[in-house]
Amino acid sequence: MKRVPVIKTILLSLISVFWLSLPANAQAQILNESDTLFRSDIFKIIAEPGRNNSTVTIKQSSHITNTVHNYIANASKKRLTGFRVRIFFDNKQDAREVSLSLENSFRELYPGVGVYRTYTNPYFKVTVGDFRNRSDAMRLFKEIERVYPSAFIVREIINFPPL
């Protein structure tokens, strides 16, 4: 039981050393990204050359590295509550075909954004994106509202957004 606090302390120390070794503009860039260092392999990031090709060498137990890698691997399997933009919601007779065509057209227009077509009796729905907060969903909404005028933001269970 005493190992857990030691591992946490070591990991926090490593992250602190890494953070302080970054130039200020790199720190600002990381802070501007929505996923900060989440699901990133901190050991690979630290091993990359920094200013003037300086490097950091860490000697540690393989248990720490394995714990971080397991955390990264398991994080992508988890789901959480977040926001998506619904671009279609209908129950007409042609709703299935319309939802399929909207799904395909959205994939072509926005290839990097996840598209989810679902059926909840009696409605066919097409929802796009995986956002942790409403403001990120609003950015996509503002971008697509001219193409999809009936779009609106919904709270749903989402997949972890890609890095």
- pLDDT of 141-157, one tens digit each? 999 999 999 999 999 99
Please calculate the CA angle 70-71-76 and round it to the nearest 5 degrees: 105
CATH topology of domain 79-159: Alpha-Beta Plaits (3.30.70)
Q: Please check whether residue 136 is in contact with residue 34, taking contact to mean a CB–CB distance below 8 angstroms.
A: yes
Choose from 1-10, 35-44, 105-114 the range with maximum mean pLDDT.
105-114
Listed in order, the ranges of the chain carrying CATH 3.30.70 are: 79-159
CB within 8 A of 37, min separation 6: which ones? 15, 30, 45
Question: What is the per-residue pLDDT across 49-60, written as a single tens digit (0 to 9) for each?
Answer: 877 888 777 777
Q: What's residue 71's pLDDT?
A: 75
pLDDT reading at 96 higher than 70: yes
Question: What is the per-residue pLDDT across 23-54, written as a single tens digit (0 to 9) for each?
Answer: 544 444 444 444 445 556 677 777 788 778 88
Q: What is the DSSP letter of 110?
A: -
Q: Please check whether residue 58 is in contact with residue 14, taking contact to mean a CB–CB distance below 8 angstroms.
A: yes
